Chain A
Amino acid sequence: MRHHIIVRVSTRILVAFILLFALYVQFHGDFGPGGGFQAGVIFGAGCILYGLVFGVDALRVVIPDAIVRSIAALGVLLFAGVGVVAILAGGNFLDYSVLGQTPTAGQHLGIILIELGVGMTVASVVILLYYAFTNR
């Protein structure tokens, strides 16, 4: 890809916007269409685009294997952890209403945290899959 100047330049510009869009989809998910799954996949796709154009090793420098793997695990922990916190706060598992001052505020906070967990895990799993298959 070293000689494809157009691809290289446009990727450099695009990646920033793709990642930004992923964050928008992530954090706008509780107002409109969006959420962790979609955001995670978009984020992962942005990283994979970077890896395809500049080489997987360049991507590994930015996000090493061990870190991606930990983020994937932490995402699941965050998801289940929010559910357990809801139990500790007196509600049922994953009942966000008890997390805030009012049920609405609680639901809001809960869904953002849950979706963040989903987004972290999905994005890192997508990247891990890319790593796993380029290793061969």
Chain B
Amino acid sequence: MIAQSLQVGAHLPALQVVVPLLAAPVCALIQRPRVAWATALAVSVLALLMSSALLERTLVAGPISYALGGWAAPWGIEYRVDTVNAFVLLIVSLISTLVLPFARDSVEQEVRADRIGLFYTAWMLCLTGLLGIAITGDAFNVFVFLEISSLSSYVLISLGSERRALVAAFRYLVMGTVGATFILIGVGLLYTMTGTLNMMDLAERIGAVEDTRAVKVAFVFLTVGIAIKMALFPLHAWLPNAYTYAPSAVTAFLAGSATKVAVYVWLRFFFTVFGADYAIESMSMMLLMLPLALSGIVIASLVAVFQNDAKRLLAYSSVAQIGYMALGIGLFSTTGLTAAIVHLFNHAIIKTVLFMALGCILLRTGSVRIASLAGIGRRMPWTMAAFVFGAMSLVGVPLTVGFISKWYLLLAALEFGWWPVAALVVATSLLAAVYCGRVVEAAYFRDPQPGSIQAHAREAPLTMLVPVWILIAANIYLGIDTDLTVDVARRAAVILIGAVP
């Protein structure tokens, strides 16, 4: 029996991806909405257990390497798990597991009944793709999984109830495909120069050819391609509409996972494959990333203030938050990276809970325009209270996770003595207070129109409230006890920086 369990443990890296992959055709075969949903949820829980086991293992015993098909690296495809990607795996599977219970009612209302079976098929494929991107140690494999997750997320977005969801999905598809193809070009150029696709092998061999024009061009293509996928300002144009018109559950899932995984890919290519020195010295990435990150934070926050749709408001806020992560990465220091990785996790749990709260309101009233949120705080007290806590975390009020990320970001900026950057981080946090405040103000301090749906809305069902409050609890608990997230993030940052020869 012990031998049996050990054997399963050794195959965890493969099973992490294969189990959701197997669930996808099963969901397609079942077609019955509730059964497909239950399958997806069960598999998602399983994926969460596996990723926690993997993270624990990497913390104790260091990186795990798994040779797919028994073909040893660098010839075969290698799945390589270290603390960095084990953490990302945990984020993705955690978000999926918490959003799925919420998804049942929300999806049944927003998606046509005969499409729900396929909805969960696409969900499982998206989960497979995101987990695959995080786990693989092969540069081309990243592209394949990226396209699996992207194609299924286009499908998920297009299933939104408004017709504008279709246009949003189409535009995301065009930009996403251009981004993915840029990554493909970058990987191809790296292959012509080094003759290998394995990331560890690439890292070793790239030093000999790093001054050639081809490698520089590869770096540029990869940077732009991944920046599109992670919606870094000014390549974020696809994100606001995609998040606004997608079904609520999809928005919550993608906001917490898809852009985060893209940030991870960036970390992987910058630090592990090219090395931080190369990115800073040869390619002057600091000069590029800091202005982009800062202008993204300021402009997207300002735009968010003027939105009339709460979902779109949060979408612009996501663009700003990605700017914070880019800022942390762009500082190229251990503290900066720690801040970026902590914020990766923290923003995932903050933004997911905010979108889930809006999903609850959408379920009961059918609209999340700020004007129609009037008085909803009294009709749906638990939902709005969760939104308020989430908003506080987004702003960075102490004792929430948002504070932790901002704190480390400030520390990183001050390490360089960059007071203006630090001041900007604080100032934009106040902007976050302004745009979240608009929603809160409408919900608590305005009266609903008599006789409207809002005036008679009931509280959201427990299946939706429980996951929301689990996330709120996590927001507060991890804001007080930072050992778990910050420690793991710092170890991950040391691994990434330490990968520099």
Contact = CB atoms under 8 A, between A and B. Distances in A.
Any A–B CB pair closer than 8 Å: yes
A36 to B, nearest CB: 16
A43 interface: no
Interface residues on A, range: 20 to 34
Given A92-B70, A93-B68, A93-B69, A80 B22 contact: yes
B59 interface: no
B14 interface: yes
A91 B66 CA distance: 11
Nearest to A91: B70
A92 B25 contact: no
B178 interface: no
Interface in A43-70: 69-70
Interface string A89-108: 01111111100000000000
Given A76-B24, A84-B18, A92 B29 contact: no
Interface string B66-109: 11111000000000000000000000000000000000000000
Given A92-B67, A93-B18, A93-B69, A73 B25 contact: yes
> Interface SS of chain A: helix, strand, loop or mixed?
helix
B21 A95 contact: no
A92 B68 CA distance: 6
Interface in B1-40: 7, 11, 14-15, 18, 21-22, 24-26, 28-29
A29 B70 CA distance: 21
Contacts of A91: 70
A20 B66 CA distance: 40
Contact of B21 (A72, A76, A90, A97): A76
B interface secondary structure, majority: helix
A97 B22 CA distance: 22
A84 B21 CA distance: 12
Contact of A97 (B15, B29, B70): B70
Nearest to A110: B69
B26 A92 contact: no
Contacts of B26: 73, 77
Contacts of B14: 83, 87, 92-93
A83 B15 CA distance: 10
Given A69-B28, A73-B25, A80 B18 contact: yes
Contacts of A72: 25, 28
A87 B28 contact: no
Interface string B252-270: 0000000000000000000
13 contacts: A73-B26, A73-B29, A74-B25, A76-B24, A76-B25, A80-B22, A81-B22, A84-B22, A91-B70, A92-B11, A92-B68, A93-B69, A97-B70
Interface of B: 7, 11, 14-15, 18, 21-22, 24-26, 28-29, 66-70
Given A76-B21, A92-B11, A93-B69, 17 more contacts: A72-B28, A74-B29, A77-B25, A80-B18, A80-B21, A81-B22, A84-B18, A87-B11, A92-B14, A92-B68, A93-B11, A93-B18, A93-B66, A94-B69, A94-B70, A95-B69, A97-B70
